[in-house]
Amino acid sequence: MEKDIPGIRDVSIVLCGEAGQGIQTVEFLMASLLKISRYNFFSTKEYMSRVRGGSNSTEIRVSTDTVNAFVERIDILFPFTAQALEHVRWRLSGKTLIIGDKDLLAPGGKEPAVKIYHVPFNSMAKEVGGEIYSNVIAVGIIAGILGIDAEISNNFIGRYFERKGVEAAKNNSTALGKGYEIGHRISDEGTFKATIEMHPEIDNQIVMNGAEAVGFGALCGGCNFISAYPMTPSTGILTFLAEKSLEYDIIAEQAEDEIAAINMAIGAWYAGGRGMVCTAGGGFALMTEGVSLAGMLEIPVVISVGQRPAPATGLPTRTEQGDLEMVLYAGHGEFPRVIFAPGTIEDCISLTRMAFNLADKYQIPVFILSDQYIMDSYYNFQAPDISDIKIEHQYIKTDKDYVRYTITDSGISPRGIPGYGEGMVVVDSDEHDFRGHITEDYNLRTAMVNKRLKKMHQIELEAIPPELTGGKECGYLVVCWGSTYHIAREAIKRLGRNDISLLHFNQVYPLHTDTADYFRGARNTIIVENNATSQFSRILRASTGISIDKKILQYNGLPFSVEHLTESLKAEIEQEVYPHGR
């Protein structure tokens, strides 16, 4: 190993092994320990669609500066199986420190293909009390390398495992100590030297993943009903709200299928509740008739769709941005909707909260369109100010002459709920008259369609503008939406050019009325999307008439890495400067 390596201020640590080996436990423990120790960190995972076996990996990125994006680079690798080395080989370099058991990674005394810092995890764990303690040894090694205070680490591990009994807490503390000694030695001998600065303000920050943030945003939006059929990557939303159900008086229903789930949520709103569903693309495909039902009844509903590669089951545990057009056009007929696409975990909170109020105000479906990458990623961030939260209920107390679908200038009719007032609240999935009764009158049909569509004008006026980083007058305008935000920001920063601006959309439909203005000062436009056909560029063109010059697309099931996007942007820029090569 190299000696006297200068202190590294941004460390990418990857743990890789089979499903069932507890890699997610290490991620959770390290996330908690890094937060307690006031370190900036980011973590994300990629995993196979199986309960046991295969190769899964988790990246934990620790930095002096704020970090929020996936990098290919691996500085320290913990491979817990021989297959793990092959799984991440494309991310290794000569500088990667590989910490593992040589007997496991190169059985039979063969010389391993890579240099390994030998740590006999299983035999050490058995000395403590069983192989189950291997993971906590790894936690200790990481803590030792990073210089996390030993007492803080030990106290945290003791508190965490005390619920499993005195012996378990004691054994885990012993395992942590064994690992810490190894990590401290690695640092002291110069094998790997990290100099990560702590930040006192992190004490007041919070840590969530995207699924928890959507759930928290739903709480802030007054959600009191969630129905879902579990489906990766959105199951965490249902789990989060189910865990909070007693504290916040929420009904959390695991439905028998997705059709039942969306109909339940619509029924909850009809009865005066605030309901949502969470699903993935395949599950949402089953919900589309329910989306149309909400459109016809003019009943609010909030729908969280976590994207993953398709068609059909596709890669069910991977990430993609391939469902945008499906969500935009889902449901038969023409009726208004809003689609948010959070770019940050903070956005997951604020946009979900906003979704409930918009759905209630305009009596429409509102979508939270995320993906596996953001749903399963964690980082530390400043807690949002929720002191001024207002649950904006829009329903009225009806009188005996109440008419559900009164024509108004805005297209929004007063929404009553059954039992609140004297009026009868009639709704029907067929076209209906002003009171909600079935009709086949041609003129009424036209009037009702116009009434529903009239809402779009005001919805467009309330659309969130895209976020511009850099100037409107620029050589290159990089356009992205949803979860690519932090990756694109860091890639552009690495390029170090002052002629590149970033335009990020976290509302993808309808677009803000001034959207076209952001493009007028750009000499070249480049869009970044995690799909094969650049779906958002088609929406941009349909809405604004703007055609994107160049497209950087990825659809292998992985998120963009900062390195890949940096090189792709550089190549597109150089292609324009040197169209025939250097």
**In whole angstroms, what is the distance from residue 422 CA to residue 307 CA?**
44
Alpha-carbon span 241 to 450, nearest angstrom: 37
pLDDT at 147: 94
Listed residues 354, 382, 410: the one ending a domain: 382
Give 480's contacts (C-beta < 8 A, 6+ positions apart): 343, 488, 502, 503, 504, 505, 527, 528, 529
In a shared domain, residues 55 and 77: yes
Distance of CA 222 to the CA centre of its chain: 21
551 and 503, same domain (yes or no): yes
For residues 37 and 79, state if they share a domain.
yes
pLDDT band at 6 (very low <50, low <70, confident <90, very high): low
The answer to the question of residue 5 being in a domain is no
pLDDT at 391: 86
The answer to whether residues 571 and 494 belong to one domain is: yes
Cis geometry, peptide bond prior to residue 510 (ω within 30 degrees of 0): yes
The residue assigned the tokens 């913990």 is: 78
Q: Do residue 232 and residue 341 come from a single domain?
A: yes
Residues 495 and 411 grouped into a single domain:
no
Per the domain annotation, does 2 fall within a domain?
no
Q: What is the CATH number of the domain that holds 573?
A: 3.40.50.920
> Of 198, 225, 250, which marks where a domain is finished?
198
The per-residue pLDDT for 1 is 37
Q: Does residue 387 sit within a domain?
A: no
Average pLDDT along the chain: 94
Residue 409 lies in a domain: yes
Domain endpoint, select from 198, 226, 255:
198
44 found inside a domain: yes
Residue 582: pLDDT over 50: no
| Residue 389 within a domain | no
pLDDT at 291 over 90: yes
Side-by-side strand order, sheet with 116-118: 116-118, 97-100, 76-79, 10-19, 53-63, 40-46, 378-382, 205-209
In a domain, 412, yes or no: yes
Q: Which two tokens stand for residue 315?
A: 């890669």
Mean pLDDT in residue range 9-26 = 92
What's residue 387's pLDDT? 83
Residues 269 and 504: their CA atoms lie apart, in Å, by 32
pLDDT for res 4? 42
Look at 385 and 517; give whichever has higher pLDDT.
Answer: 517
Beta carbons of 533 and 361 less than 8 angstroms apart: no
Domain at 91, CATH number: 3.40.920.10
Asked whether residue 112 carries a pLDDT value surpassing 80, the answer given is no
Are 132 and 145 within 8 A, CB to CB? no
212: domain CATH number is 3.40.50.970
Same domain, 347 and 399: no
Number of domains observed in the structure of the chain: 4
What angle do helix axes 134-146 and 23-36 make, rounded to 10 degrees? Answer: 30
Question: Over 90: is that where the pLDDT of 48 sits?
Answer: yes
> Does 286 share its domain with 241?
yes
- Predicted confidence at residue 52, as pLDDT, reads 86
The residue-averaged pLDDT of 239-252 equals 97
pLDDT band at 93; cut points 50, 70, 90: very high
pLDDT of residue 203 exceeding 80, the answer is yes
- The pLDDT of residue 98: 96
Instruction: Report the pLDDT value the prediction gives residue 221, as an integer from 0 to 100.
Output: 96
Quote the domain boundaries for residue 566: 467-577
Which has the minimum average pLDDT: 10-14, 277-281, 386-390, 559-563?
A: 386-390
The reply to whether 484 and 434 lie within a common domain is: no
What predicted TM-score, i.e. pTM, was given to this entire model?
0.95
Q: Is the pLDDT of residue 207 over 90?
A: yes
> Is 549 domain-assigned?
yes
pLDDT at 16: 96
Provide mean pLDDT across the span 495-499.
96
| Pair (220, 278) in one structural domain | yes
220 and 118 both lie in a single domain: no
Is residue 3's pLDDT more than 50? Answer: no
Task: Grade residue 111 by pLDDT with cuts at 50, 70 and 90.
Answer: low
Residues 416-425, mean pLDDT to the nearest whole number: 96
Specify whether 145 is located in the same domain as 36.
Answer: yes
CB atoms under 10 Å from CB of 519, counted, come to 18
